[in-house]
C-alpha cells in the first residue's frame, strides 16, 4: 500500500507539473505590463450592463480556434482520413494564440481571472482530446485505414458528415449542447453492418461509440456546472450604429433600443456568428459602427488569399495561421478600430478577403 501510495503521489505531481507548464509560460512570458499610454475612454451609452470588457473580444479567439480546428478536420475528412489531420499543429495553435493575445490584452489592462481559468480549462480539455485522438488515429487508426483500402465505409462517411454538422453547430452554440447521445443512436441506426472492410467498420464503431459516449456524459456535466456557476449565457449584445434606417430595422435580428443622437442608434442583436453576419450586412449597406458594448477596438479574423492584404486604416495585424483543408487561404487576425470596422469590411471584400468572424465581447 505504501509503495502504491508513492506511485500515485508521484503520478499526481507529474500531472500537476505538466498542466502547469503552459500556464506558467503564459502568465510569466506572454503577459506584459500595462501600457500607461493606453487610452481610457468613456462609452457613448451608460445603461447598466451595456459596457463589456474589451479583453473578452481578443480572448474569445482561442475558443474559436477550437471551432476552426473541428471545421478544418471536417474539411480534411471530406477527401481524406483522420490520420491525415495535423493534431499537434492544432494543439500548439491554441496555446500560441492564447499567448499572443494575452500580451495584447495585458498591455491594455488585466484579463479577468474567471476568463483565464476558463481558457486554461478549455485548453487542457482540447489538448487531451486531440492528443489522445491524434495518438490513436496516426497509429492504430492508420493501420485500420490501410486494411480498409481507399474505399471508405459507411461509418467513415457518417463521421465525416457529423463532423461538418458539429463544426457548423459550434458557430452559434456551446459544444456541450450538441446532441451526442442522439447522434450516437443515429450512427448505429444509419450505418449498415454489411459493405466494406469489416475490420474498419467494427473499429470505427468502437471509436465513435467511445468518443460520443464520453462527450455526451462530459458535456452534460459541463452544461450543468456552467448553468449552476455562471448562469445562462448572455446571447445578445448592443451596438451603436450610424445611419441606420427603417429597412435595416426590418431585420428580425435587430431590436431598436433608442437613438443616442447624431444619427446614431443603439440596437440589440444576437451574438456569435449571427453578429458577424449582421455587421457585415450593415457594412455592405453603407452603415458604420460607432461603438460595440462600450468598446472602440475589436478583434476580427479574415480568410485572406495568399496575396498581401490591402492597406487598412485603423487595423493592425496580430497573427496569421494556415488552414490545412484550404491551402489557398490563410486566417489573419486584425486588431480593428470599431469606427473603421465597416470601412475595413468593405475594403477587404473588394480585395476578395472576406471577414470570417467578428469577436464580440
Q: Which three cell numbers stand for residue 331?
A: 486566417
pLDDT value at 20 more than 90: no
Contact in structure between 260 and 44 (CB atoms under 8 Å):
yes
Q: Are residues 108 and 168 in the same domain?
A: yes
Tens of pLDDT, residues 223-242: 888 776 666 668 899 999 99
Q: Is residue 45 part of a domain?
A: no
Q: Are residues 95 and 191 in the same domain?
A: yes
How many domains, in total, are found in the chain? 2
Tens of pLDDT, residues 312-348: 999 999 999 999 999 999 999 999 999 999 999 999 9
pLDDT value at 31 more than 70: yes
Q: Are residues 65 and 191 in the same domain?
A: yes
Write down the pLDDT at residue 210.
97
pLDDT value at 2 more than 80: no
Average pLDDT over residues 71-99: 97
Which one-letter DSSP state was computed for residue 286?
Answer: T
Q: Are residues 326 and 254 in the same domain?
A: yes
pLDDT value at 36 more than 90: no
Write down the pLDDT at residue 226.
76
Q: Is residue 134 part of a domain?
A: yes
Per the rule left: phi > 0, alpha: psi between -120 and 50, beta: everything else, 163 is alpha
Give percent of the chain with pLDDT exceeding 90: 78
Q: Is residue 8 part of a domain?
A: no
Q: Is residue 30 part of a domain?
A: no
Indicate the range of 22-31, 253-262, 293-302, 306-315 predicted with least confidence: 22-31
Contact in structure between 266 and 260 (CB atoms under 8 Å):
yes
Write down the pLDDT at residue 25.
87
Q: Are residues 97 and 182 in the same domain?
A: yes
Write down the pLDDT at residue 21.
83
Contact in structure between 268 and 292 (CB atoms under 8 Å):
no
Q: Are residues 130 and 218 in the same domain?
A: yes
Say how many C-beta atoms besides its own lie within 10 A of residue 160's C-beta.
20
Distance CA 241, CA 343 (A): 13
Q: What is the dihedral of CA 136, 142, 145, 150, to 10 degrees?
A: 140
Single out the residue in 214, 229, 244 at which a domain terminates. Answer: 229
Tens of pLDDT, residues 236-286: 999 999 999 989 989 999 999 999 988 999 999 999 999 999 999 999 999
Q: Are residues 76 and 144 in the same domain?
A: yes
Indicate the range of 7-11, 49-53, 232-236 predicted with least confidence: 7-11
Q: Are residues 311 and 202 in the same domain?
A: no
Average pLDDT over residues 82-93: 97
Write down the pLDDT at residue 10.
66
Query: 314 lies in which domain range?
Result: 236-359
Tens of pLDDT, residues 146-200: 999 999 999 999 999 999 999 999 999 999 999 999 999 999 999 999 989 999 9
Helices (H) and strands (E) in the chain, counts: 12, 8
Reported as a pLDDT band with limits 50, 70 and 90, residue 308 is very high
Single out the residue in 229, 249, 264 at which a domain terminates. Answer: 229
Single out the residue in 184, 209, 229 at which a domain terminates. Answer: 229
Q: Is residue 333 part of a domain?
A: yes
pLDDT value at 130 more than 70: yes
Write down the pLDDT at residue 109.
84
Q: Is residue 13 part of a domain?
A: no
pLDDT value at 138 more than 90: yes
Write down the pLDDT at residue 73.
98
Q: Across the beta sheet with 355-359, what order do the strands follow?
A: 315-322, 329-337, 297-305, 355-359
Q: Are residues 74 and 207 in the same domain?
A: yes
Q: Are residues 184 and 266 in the same domain?
A: no
Q: Are residues 225 and 286 in the same domain?
A: no
Q: Are residues 146 and 254 in the same domain?
A: no
Q: Is residue 96 part of a domain?
A: yes
| pTM for the predicted model, two decimal places | 0.91
Write down the pLDDT at residue 184.
98
Q: Is residue 212 part of a domain?
A: yes
Amino acid at each position: 500500500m505504501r509503495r502504491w501510495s508513492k506511485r500515485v503521489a508521484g503520478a499526481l505531481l507529474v500531472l500537476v507539473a505538466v498542466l502547469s507548464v503552459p500556464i506558467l509560460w503564459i502568465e510569466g512570458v506572454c503577459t506584459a505590463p500595462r501600457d500607461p499610454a493606453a487610452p481610457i475612454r468613456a462609452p457613448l451609452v451608460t445603461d447598466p450592463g451595456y459596457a463589456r470588457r474589451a479583453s473578452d473580444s481578443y480572448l474569445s479567439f482561442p475558443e474559436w480556434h477550437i471551432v476552426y480546428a473541428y471545421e478544418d478536420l471536417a474539411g480534411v475528412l471530406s477527401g481524406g482520413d483522420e490520420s491525415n489531420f495535423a493534431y499537434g499543429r492544432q494543439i500548439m495553435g491554441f496555446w500560441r494564440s492564447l499567448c499572443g493575445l494575452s500580451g495584447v490584452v495585458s498591455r491594455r489592462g488585466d484579463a479577468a481571472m474567471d476568463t483565464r481559468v476558463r481558457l486554461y480549462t478549455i485548453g487542457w480539455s482540447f489538448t487531451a482530446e486531440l492528443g489522445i485522438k491524434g495518438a490513436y488515429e496516426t497509429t492504430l487508426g492508420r493501420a485500420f485505414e490501410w486494411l480498409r483500402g481507399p474505399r471508405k465505409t459507411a461509418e467513415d462517411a457518417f463521421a465525416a458528415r457529423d463532423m461538418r454538422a458539429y463544426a457548423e453547430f459550434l458557430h452559434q452554440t456551446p459544444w456541450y449542447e450538441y446532441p451526442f447521445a442522439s447522434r450516437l443512436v443515429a450512427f448505429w441506426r444509419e450505418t449498415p453492418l454489411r459493405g466494406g472492410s469489416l475490420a474498419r467498420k467494427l473499429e470505427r464503431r468502437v471509436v465513435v461509440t467511445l468518443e460520443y459516449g464520453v462527450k455526451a456524459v462530459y458535456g452534460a456535466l459541463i452544461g450543468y456546472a456552467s448553468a449552476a456557476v455562471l448562469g445562462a449565457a448572455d446571447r445578445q449584445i448592443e451596438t451603436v450604429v450610424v445611419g441606420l434606417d427603417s429597412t435595416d430595422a426590418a431585420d428580425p435580428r435587430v431590436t431598436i433600443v433608442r437613438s443616442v443622437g447624431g444619427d446614431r442608434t443603439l440596437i440589440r442583436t444576437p451574438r456569435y456568428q449571427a453578429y458577424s453576419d449582421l455587421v457585415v450586412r450593415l457594412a455592405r449597406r453603407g452603415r458604420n459602427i460607432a461603438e460595440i458594448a462600450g468598446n472602440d477596438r475589436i478583434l476580427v479574423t479574415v480568410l485572406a488569399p495568399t496575396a498581401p492584404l490591402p492597406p487598412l486604416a485603423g487595423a493592425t495585424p496580430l497573427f496569421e495561421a494556415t488552414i490545412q483543408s484550404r491551402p489557398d487561404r490563410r486566417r489573419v487576425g486584425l486588431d480593428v478600430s470599431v469606427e473603421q470596422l465597416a470601412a475595413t469590411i468593405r475594403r477587404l471584400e473588394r480585395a476578395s478577403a472576406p471577414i470570417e468572424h467578428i469577436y464580440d465581447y
